[in-house]
Amino acid sequence: MSALIWLRSDLRADWHSPLNYAIEQHDSVTAVYIVTPQQWRHYGLAQAKTDLILARLAELKKRLKDRNVYLNIVKEPDYTSSVKRIAIECQKHNINNVYVNAEYEWDERQRDKALKLALQDQGIQCGVFHDTCLVRPDAIFNQQNKPYKVFTPYFKAWLAELERQNMTPLSANSQASQTQTLDEEVELDSLSDWYWSRRDSKRWPACDKGLTEKARAFVSERAADYASNRDIPIKEGTSELSPYLSIGAISPARLYHQLSIEARQSLEQRNGGEYEWLRELAWRDFYRYVMFHFPHVCKHRCFQSQYDEFPWETDKKAFEAWCEGRTGYPVVDAAMRCLNQTGWMHNRLRMIVSSFLCKHLRLPWRWGEDYFMSRLIDGDFASNNGGWQWSASVGTDAAPYFRIFNPTTQGERYDKQGRFIRSWVPELESVPDKHLHQPSAWQGFSDVDYPAPIVDHKATVAETKRRFQDFLASH
């Protein structure tokens, strides 16, 4: 009996239920990854992210070989042709079962429905596993048996479910007896020349060794201080594991398992840095949960549907200034330049710049969402969409519209000495520390080659609140 594992956003050879199950149940186990350039372009995936995927695939080939599973890397334009390709390969290679890890985005769910149907026609079973989240989205509901819409009660139920699951590690030692190669495999090296796969993910190790060490170092050495360090961009206060979680190079179950061994007390007492960090993994699950139960958020719509009609501005020049880091607000500009050059932005900065786009410039949150996706190495539909809808006050559990970050005081608070700003905005070199967060107020500003604030904070915040109030009054 032969099995095929279709890998998508689960690019690992350990903590992988479909893989373990297939090895246990089948004589022959083969893996496939389908590179889908058209689909990637349609989603506007960042070059840094696609580069990380390709680097990871090279590593994964070796790790799967250790388990005697051949990873075939093939190319198809999009999801529709991918489904057809899987069905054809199954027929050609006498595959009896296909196994996948579920993905919860709308398009991906439609793809998998089509897959099941296509395989059914050929008498092939499709087994779906749920390793992407710690708690699968259909596992918890409120007392009315409805999906949660607010994080805090969701988190309570999520924790209870997590404890109930009593997670045990999945062995990564078992090996398949046989494996197969499919036709028309593509060479990874030939893919790296595509325009969207510039080699700029080097800062992020794609090998298991580097990744394991990164996760270990955070959980053992830094997670305890997470609560106090997590908001300071210049510190190594967060795990920086999101790029790996987004492509599934590391499993959330493995991180939880590590935490539950090394930080048992913090988890049991429900306080401390490690517990706070677990809460962030719950946010990751929560945004997948929202997407699963309220799929309209996958269709460019607000969770709170009334805001679909909110009259956002359309000033393209202001948007360009935001994208390029030329708003005249140092912390916003430093963050955007960091994103543009590295594909990475710290969470506190994501909150500041997204609030600035939606509440200071009153530009559509979807513009920001798309721009982030096109730049972020950890671009992840659910977390990105959830983060943007939160900032725009249109999502589930969103920040209320009148809570608007002041970019100057945020900078003063979270980049006190201005080290982050100075490393990304060299034009401000001559500005004294005292004026760094508001350089236009310095008397020597006219000699500095840096823009004056694109909008006046006080005036624009007042206008935003008025617009939201008027909008809500009329809806």
Ligand X SMILES: Cc1cc2nc3c(=O)[nH]c(=O)nc-3n(C[C@H](O)[C@H](O)[C@H](O)COP(=O)(O)OP(=O)(O)OC[C@H]3O[C@@H](n4cnc5c(N)ncnc54)[C@H](O)[C@@H]3O)c2cc1C
Residue by residue, DSSP assigns 39-106 as HHHHHT--HHHHHHHHHHHHHHHHHHHHTT-EEEEEE-SSHHHHHHHHHHHHHHTT--EEEEE---SH
In the set 283, 322, 390, 424, the catalytic residue is: 283
Q: Is 419 labeled as ligand-binding?
A: no
Q: Indicate whether 334 belongs to the interface with ligand X (CB under 6 A).
A: no
Which residue's Cβ has the minimum distance to ligand X? 387
Closest to ligand X by CB, 224 vs 351, is: 351
Q: Indicate whether 355 belongs to the interface with ligand X (CB under 6 A).
A: no
Q: Residue 233's Cα: distance from chain center in Å?
A: 18
**Tokens read off for 42:** 């349609």
Q: Indicate whether 259 belongs to the interface with ligand X (CB under 6 A).
A: no
**One symbol per residue from 268 to 297: x for binding ligand X (CB under 6 A), - otherwise; what is it?**
------------xx-xx--x----------
Choosing from 72, 180, 251, 391, the residue that interacts with ligand X (CB under 6 A) is 391
The answer to whether residue 365 is catalytic is yes
How many angstroms separate the CA atoms of 6 and 376, rounded?
25
Q: Is 191 labeled as ligand-binding?
A: no
Q: Which residue has the tokens 């460019």?
A: 300
**Tokens read off for 324:** 């390029």
Q: Indicate whether 380 belongs to the interface with ligand X (CB under 6 A).
A: yes
Closest to ligand X by CB, 387 vs 407, is: 387
Q: Indicate whether 379 belongs to the interface with ligand X (CB under 6 A).
A: yes
In the set 96, 229, 347, 406, the catalytic residue is: 347
User: Do 131 and 16 touch, CB atoms closer than 8 A?
Assistant: yes
Closest to ligand X by CB, 100 vs 382, is: 382
How many angstroms separate the CA atoms of 167 and 256, rounded?
9
State the nearest-atom distance from the C-beta of 389 to ligand X, in Å: 9
The answer to whether residue 280 is catalytic is yes
Residues 6+ apart with CB under 8 A from 18: 5, 10, 99, 100, 101, 127, 129, 131
Closest CA relative to residue 346, chosen from 235, 249, 246: 235
CB atoms within 10 A of CB 280: 14
End-to-end CA distance of the chain: 59
- Cα atoms in the Cβ-side hemisphere of radius 13 Å centred on 126: 21
In the set 15, 365, 390, 424, the catalytic residue is: 365
Stretch that binds ligand X, among 156-164, 349-357, 400-408, 427-435 (CB under 6 A): 349-357
Choosing from 239, 393, 410, 464, the residue that interacts with ligand X (CB under 6 A) is 239
The answer to whether residue 388 is catalytic is yes
Q: Is 283 labeled as ligand-binding?
A: yes
Q: Indicate whether 361 belongs to the interface with ligand X (CB under 6 A).
A: no
State the nearest-atom distance from the C-beta of 383 to ligand X, in Å: 3
Q: Is 238 labeled as ligand-binding?
A: yes
The residue type at 407: P
State the nearest-atom distance from the C-beta of 344 to ligand X, in Å: 8
Q: Indicate whether 242 belongs to the interface with ligand X (CB under 6 A).
A: yes
Stretch that binds ligand X, among 78-86, 104-112, 136-144, 238-246 (CB under 6 A): 238-246
C-alpha separations of 178 from 4, 27, 69 in Å:
12, 6, 7
State the nearest-atom distance from the C-beta of 432 to ligand X, in Å: 31
390: phi then psi, degrees, rounded to nearest 5 = -65, -50
How many angstroms separate the CA atoms of 302 and 235, rounded?
34
Choosing from 28, 97, 201, 246, the residue that interacts with ligand X (CB under 6 A) is 246
Closest to ligand X by CB, 48 vs 95, is: 48
- Identify the helix (H) or strand (E) that includes residue 3: strand 2-7
Q: Is 119 labeled as ligand-binding?
A: no
C-alpha separations of 362 from 200, 311, 455 in Å:
32, 9, 11
Annotated binding site: 226, 238-242, 277, 280-287, 378-380
Contacts with ligand X by CB under 6 A lie at 230, 238-242, 245-246, 280-281, 283-284, 287, 347, 350-351, 354, 372, 376, 378-380, 383-384, 386-388, 391
Annotated binding site for FAD: 226, 238-242, 277, 280-287, 378-380
Catalytic residues, by residue number, are: 280, 283, 312, 347, 365, 388
